[in-house]
Chain A
Amino acid sequence: MASLSSDEWRAICDKFTNAQNLTEVESRNDPENDPFRSKYKARELLREIYCSLKSFEVSEGEEDGGGESGDPRPSEQPVDGQREDGFGQGFSGDSPAGLRAAKLGAVEYYLGVNHVDTEELSAGQEHLMNCMKLLGRCSVSSENVSLFIHVRNQLGILWAGRDETETAQGFLETAESIYQHYMKEDGSPPTDMTEYFTTEEKLLTHQERTKRFELAYTHTMYYLAQVYKNLGQTERAATYCHSTLQRQLQLNQFNPMEWALNAATLSQYYITKGRYMEGRHCLSAATVISGLAGEVPSEAAAQESETENERREQLRQKRAEIARCWIKYCLNLLQDAKKLLEDNIGELDTDRQDELKRARRGEEEEEEKGRKSALLFGSEDTFDSIASLEEKVRCLFPLDFTEARAVFLVGQNYVTQAKEYFQMDGYVTDHIEILQDHSALFRALAFFEEDLERRCKMHKRRVDMLEPICTDLNAQYYLMIRRQLMFELAETYSEMMDLKLTLANRQADTQSLDSHTIKKFNHLCSASAKYFQMFLDSLCSPEGKVPEHLEEEVLRPALVARFRVARLHSRLISSSPSVQLDNLNRSLENYKYVVQYCETHPEAATTVETELELSKEMVGLLPLKINRLKARMAANN
């Protein structure tokens, strides 16, 4: 820095420190009605620094006798996305010319970020591209690699914001390859951009340099995750999210509760993909890392201080949310196993069960192998706790009742945990969603239960937890949730009705049922019909008019509900011919509705093909049955 006096240089450094301080610290306290005040001030300082550096460049250029001020190189714009990674060309990064370019580039970078932050995107873009141009003349070295990556990160954000995702992808992927190349070829802790404007005594330690550099790259990964997500490449996006989380943990740059919640959320991605081992790993890590956030403050402590109260609230909420992610793990595992094991009418297929049990051994070995190759979370002190938590629940499909019950119990335990925080009063929707999961856990478990009496009791538990809520909720505000509950209750009652009938038929091998059983059967049958009807009524207008046109999301449920109401009415048992007649007429009405609706709305037919076909048959057959009944009644009179 021969031509710049040390005083002048110190002044530049001071300005820079000031600008940084304004941008990062002061700006947070800017008043709401002047939110960019500090950033505008910082911008002025950066401009002054730029001018000083520029004038210095000119004066030094004269001393050098020409040099790069009359740069003969054509100033072509570096175009990213073409794998122009800046290695082995142009000025070397540590040459005076290279350093000067990096410094000017850094000021352009900061100006660019400043403009973007203050909503002046086009100007921001220009500054960032100027930085790119300056760097385009240099080769990558430990002096400038950090800037190489930072500027591309920013351009990635800028272009993604304009829906130009491919352009963003180009910048970010180049940043990624620059990082990888640098780490392979050099790997020494690189200069941080702030050090360009720091006096000797304030240079960073190697450790600090590495930390900042790695953090910049973590951001690149994170931005790439978003770009891939926006491009619909979910698999790739998930891998980049996973790596981002892993880097945060490794580099010890994370907030435990936030990290844990993110890992738990990622588990939901894996679970829906059917990748239970990865899902379980994320959840176990989430539980262990959330433990690092410490104890929940007591209620007494929370009443004493607002901060403790806030902390208590946060910790309880987030842990309850992680518990809910675990519930979904158990639930999906059971449901997927059920799907695998059921025959064409939804009963346990024992041949399939035997077959899968035989295949089990190989699967266990697969799991072991998979676990070794997967991207694992953890540091030395958390690794064992994560592994031991993983052992508490299997990630292979349960194949019989004992195995299913083990998964169920883990899920039920998390239901209890989650409900402690998400109580009905204050968290209506959340509370009910947890209950719905609990009910679904029972439903899945019942599939594995061979004893029909006990199976029926499990369904009764479902009714007991859902029925009171369905009746009490405000119909206007919780319409959607109530519809779901009504449908589920209707189905559960039907299921119980079928089970009761099977049981009764098993005990008495005659066709005739005793009056107690008939009463029970009719009760379950009417209850089921009642809830299907409630569901159908909920589709009516505020004036109670049946809709002429069913919206897509309720089309199939509404037609199926009609179909099932029809069936239920024809199943009611009565010795009175006139009651029988009523029931058959109501049954016919509902079958007719399905047929009629599909006639006037031909597009509906495809969503209920089988139901429609059967409804047509019944519309043809039931009148004959009704007429026979009428004839018999007339004859008896």
Chain B
Amino acid sequence: MAGASVKVAVRVRPFNSRETGRNAKCVIQMQGNTTCISNPKQPKDGAKNFTFDYSYWSHTTVDDPSFASQRQVYKDIGEEMLLHAFEGYNVCIFAYGQTGAGKSYTMMGKQEPGQEGIIPQLCEDLFQRTGENTDPDLTYSVEVSYMEIYCERVRDLLNPKSQGTLRVREHPILGPYVEDLSKLAVTGFTDIRDLMDAGNKARTVAATNMNETSSRSHAVFTIVFTQKRRDQMTSLDTEKVSKISLVDLAGSERADSSGAKGTRLKEGANINKSLTTLGKVISALAEMQSSKKRKSDFIPYRDSVLTWLLKENLGGNSRTAMIAALSPADINYEETLSTLRYADRAKQIRCNAVINEDPNAKLIRELKAEVERLRNLLFSQGLQELQQQQWHRWCRGFDPLPAAAGPHSQWDHA
């Protein structure tokens, strides 16, 4: 369970041609893990600092020694997550940020050498590693699916012709799943790349004044990675299955309609305009209250599809990383600040499943009586027969922990 909280990175992109044309000013500075944003309207005292696991400076070019390349981002985040997947954990990496801030570039990148994003690099690395396996008892299989969540509807990107939306369900054995979503077995990186390309073409992409290719939807690329080990003695197979979810979230400014808000990560200050969302507001309110009082309640607002599918990723058996993409331009100051604040909150995300424990006052009382009884018993029966060492310790009024607590091996098994 160590380090189960979310790893958070931010990354700032270069100016785009539009910004260069308008002589945009860069409002982001980075130093080590710290990101600093300055308010273009109050350049003197408006600077704010945020610290993350990583702050990636990709505003300049490779010539800049502090420049963070696609490779470096993968090395820091992608590789760590891949290793966790080999250990058997479910892992999840998601990208967040305003439209045009560079989410898709970080996640998918471009199909040019050195320009690939985390997803293709991770897939390539995965097959590289499984390819190096020489153990005949260990076999691997990889299946992928690719879906898009647009306005709370799930679409199969690997089977874009399929009509209608898919239902999300939970099965007691198979876990949460999307009904009828295609799952394709792949044997190499090129298979994955081809499927991804096909899927990306089917994605809902729109042109707005802000940005030419803006993702209006969340895209979830899932790799189900199975490691099967045969035990020669017993001829039994044991399987380790891990799910790698790579999520490209819709632009944060569209969080309302595309449902990114429902990730529950976004507890920001956005106001819902339409009264049809009154339920969300009341839910959030009830939630705030119950978390304060630690009481049991039921909040009917169904989680957004995305949260629902990823809920296991926000705690327990999984490892999660988030990359927030930042625009450097002064014109986007407000939205970029909001992204930074959101990323800052993401550091504290944990799964909210708690163990509700019964008060054990009765047990404590009994045990205290037992301690008393044991003490008296040992007193009255004379202690000379016991080891001198223990006797001393007992007389001193019980050390916090006896130094000779017994052979160490006892500690290792429960």
Complex Cα gap A344–B285 (Å): 33
Say whether A346 contacts B1, CB under 8 Å.
no
A241 cross-chain contacts in B, Cβ below 8 A: 278, 281-282, 285
User: A residues 612-629 with Cβ under 8 Å of B?
Assistant: 614, 616-621, 623-625, 627-628
- What total of chain A residues lie within 8 Å of the partner, measured CB to CB? 134
A474 CB contact (under 8 Å) in B89, B174, B334, B350: B174
Segment of B10-18, B49-57, B139-147, B208-216 engaged in the interface with chain A? B208-216
With both beta carbons as reference points, the residue of chain B lying nearest to A168 in the complex is identified as B271
Say whether B398 contacts A617, CB under 8 Å.
yes
With both beta carbons as reference points, the residue of chain A lying nearest to B312 in the complex is identified as A477
Segment of A296-304, A366-374, A538-546 engaged in the interface with chain B? A538-546
Answer yes or no: A445 CB below 8 A from chain B CBs.
no
Complex Cα gap A422–B154 (Å): 21
Complex Cα gap A152–B271 (Å): 13
Interface string of A215-230 (1 = CB under 8 A from B): 0001100110111011
Say whether A487 contacts B355, CB under 8 Å.
yes
The smallest C-beta distance from A354 to any residue of chain B, in angstroms, reads 22
Say whether A428 contacts B171, CB under 8 Å.
yes
Complex Cα gap A269–B297 (Å): 8
Say whether A244 contacts B278, CB under 8 Å.
yes
With both beta carbons as reference points, the residue of chain B lying nearest to A548 in the complex is identified as B2
Say whether B300 contacts A318, CB under 8 Å.
yes
Say whether A484 contacts B356, CB under 8 Å.
yes
A230 cross-chain contacts in B, Cβ below 8 A: 269
Say whether B89 contacts A542, CB under 8 Å.
yes
- What total of chain B residues lie within 8 Å of the partner, measured CB to CB? 107
The smallest C-beta distance from A271 to any residue of chain B, in angstroms, reads 6
Complex Cα gap A588–B351 (Å): 33
Complex Cα gap A156–B273 (Å): 10
Given A268-B290, A474-B175, A487-B357, the answer on whether A542 and B315 have CB atoms closer than 8 Å is: no
Say whether A229 contacts B288, CB under 8 Å.
yes
Say whether A621 contacts B2, CB under 8 Å.
no
Most central of A161, A230, A232, A564 by chain B CB within 10 Å: A161
A328 CB contact (under 8 Å) in B90, B296, B335: B296
Say whether A258 contacts B279, CB under 8 Å.
yes
Most central of A35, A599, A618, A620 by chain B CB within 10 Å: A620
B292 cross-chain contacts in A, Cβ below 8 A: 272
With both beta carbons as reference points, the residue of chain A lying nearest to B365 in the complex is identified as A345
Say whether A262 contacts B282, CB under 8 Å.
yes
The smallest C-beta distance from A26 to any residue of chain B, in angstroms, reads 16
B399 cross-chain contacts in A, Cβ below 8 A: 620
Answer yes or no: B317 CB below 8 A from chain A CBs.
yes
Say whether A619 contacts B405, CB under 8 Å.
yes
Say whether B278 contacts A272, CB under 8 Å.
no
B393 CB contact (under 8 Å) in A266, A550, A620: A620
Say whether A272 contacts B290, CB under 8 Å.
yes
Segment of B61-69, B109-117, B189-197, B371-379 engaged in the interface with chain A? B371-379
Answer yes or no: B136 CB below 8 A from chain A CBs.
no
Most central of B278, B316, B378, B386 by chain A CB within 10 Å: B278
Say whether A234 contacts B400, CB under 8 Å.
no
Complex Cα gap A554–B315 (Å): 11
B279 CB contact (under 8 Å) in A121, A225, A238, A262: A262
With both beta carbons as reference points, the residue of chain B lying nearest to A158 in the complex is identified as B271
B270 CB contact (under 8 Å) in A161, A219, A331: A161
A227 cross-chain contacts in B, Cβ below 8 A: 271
Answer yes or no: A264 CB below 8 A from chain B CBs.
yes
Interface string of B245-286 (1 = CB under 8 A from A): 000000001100000000000001111110110110111111
Answer yes or no: B169 CB below 8 A from chain A CBs.
yes
Answer yes or no: A64 CB below 8 A from chain B CBs.
no
Segment of A15-23, A141-149, A188-196, A319-327 engaged in the interface with chain B? A319-327
With both beta carbons as reference points, the residue of chain A lying nearest to B168 in the complex is identified as A426
Answer yes or no: B338 CB below 8 A from chain A CBs.
yes
With both beta carbons as reference points, the residue of chain A lying nearest to B204 in the complex is identified as A32
Segment of B30-38, B123-131, B406-414 engaged in the interface with chain A? B406-414
Segment of A48-56, A505-513, A590-598 engaged in the interface with chain B? A590-598
The smallest C-beta distance from B335 to any residue of chain A, in angstroms, reads 8
The smallest C-beta distance from A231 to any residue of chain B, in angstroms, reads 9
Complex Cα gap A232–B289 (Å): 10
Answer yes or no: B367 CB below 8 A from chain A CBs.
yes
Say whether A476 contacts B90, CB under 8 Å.
yes
The smallest C-beta distance from B93 to any residue of chain A, in angstroms, reads 19
A554 CB contact (under 8 Å) in B341, B355, B375: B355
With both beta carbons as reference points, the residue of chain A lying nearest to B362 in the complex is identified as A345
Interface string of A548-564 (1 = CB under 8 A from B): 11111110110010101
Answer yes or no: A547 CB below 8 A from chain B CBs.
yes
Say whether B169 contacts A621, CB under 8 Å.
no
Given A477-B175, A478-B175, the answer on whether A163 and B1 have CB atoms closer than 8 Å is: no
A474 cross-chain contacts in B, Cβ below 8 A: 172-175
Answer yes or no: B390 CB below 8 A from chain A CBs.
yes
A229 CB contact (under 8 Å) in B169, B281, B341, B378: B281
Answer yes or no: B233 CB below 8 A from chain A CBs.
no
A164 cross-chain contacts in B, Cβ below 8 A: 269
User: A residues 42-86 with Cβ under 8 Å of B?
Assistant: none
The smallest C-beta distance from B296 to any residue of chain A, in angstroms, reads 6
Answer yes or no: A481 CB below 8 A from chain B CBs.
yes
The smallest C-beta distance from B178 to any residue of chain A, in angstroms, reads 12
The smallest C-beta distance from B334 to any residue of chain A, in angstroms, reads 5
Complex Cα gap A346–B406 (Å): 37
The smallest C-beta distance from B255 to any residue of chain A, in angstroms, reads 10
Answer yes or no: A385 CB below 8 A from chain B CBs.
no
Say whether B353 contacts A480, CB under 8 Å.
yes
With both beta carbons as reference points, the residue of chain B lying nearest to A269 in the complex is identified as B286
Complex Cα gap A514–B56 (Å): 72
Say whether A165 contacts B269, CB under 8 Å.
yes
User: A residues 228-247 with Cβ under 8 Å of B?
Assistant: 229-230, 232, 234, 237-238, 241, 244-245
Interface string of A475-505 (1 = CB under 8 A from B): 0111111011001100100110010000000
Given A218-B275, A614-B371, the answer on whether A542 and B87 have CB atoms closer than 8 Å is: yes
B282 cross-chain contacts in A, Cβ below 8 A: 241, 262, 265-266, 269
A557 cross-chain contacts in B, Cβ below 8 A: 355, 357
B359 cross-chain contacts in A, Cβ below 8 A: 346
B334 cross-chain contacts in A, Cβ below 8 A: 121-122, 162
Most central of A121, A232, A272, A273 by chain B CB within 10 Å: A272
Say whether B375 contacts A542, CB under 8 Å.
no
Interface string of B181-212 (1 = CB under 8 A from A): 00000000000000000000000111111100
Given A272-B286, A564-B363, the answer on whether A624 and B279 have CB atoms closer than 8 Å is: no
Say whether B210 contacts A592, CB under 8 Å.
no
Complex Cα gap A255–B184 (Å): 43
B87 cross-chain contacts in A, Cβ below 8 A: 541-543
Answer yes or no: B44 CB below 8 A from chain A CBs.
no
Interface string of A417-457 (1 = CB under 8 A from B): 00000001111110001000100100000000000000000
B172 CB contact (under 8 Å) in A163, A168, A424, A550: A424
B299 CB contact (under 8 Å) in A268, A347, A495, A616: A268
The smallest C-beta distance from A225 to any residue of chain B, in angstroms, reads 6
Say whether A157 contacts B271, CB under 8 Å.
yes
Complex Cα gap A157–B253 (Å): 13
Answer yes or no: A2 CB below 8 A from chain B CBs.
no
Q: Can you report 28 A-B residue pairs in the complex whose CB atoms are below 8 A from each other?
A: A33-B206, A157-B273, A161-B269, A162-B269, A163-B338, A163-B341, A168-B269, A219-B273, A226-B272, A234-B285, A244-B275, A268-B297, A272-B292, A272-B293, A273-B289, A328-B297, A335-B296, A428-B172, A440-B296, A474-B175, A480-B315, A480-B351, A480-B353, A494-B363, A536-B414, A547-B1, A616-B401, A621-B374
11 extra A-B contacts, CB within 8 A, seeds A345-B362, A424-B172, A623-B390: A122-B331, A165-B269, A226-B271, A262-B279, A268-B290, A268-B298, A427-B170, A477-B176, A548-B2, A552-B350, A596-B405
The 9 closest A-B pairs by CB, nearest first: A477-B175, A542-B88, A480-B353, A321-B300, A428-B170, A557-B355, A268-B286, A269-B286, A268-B297
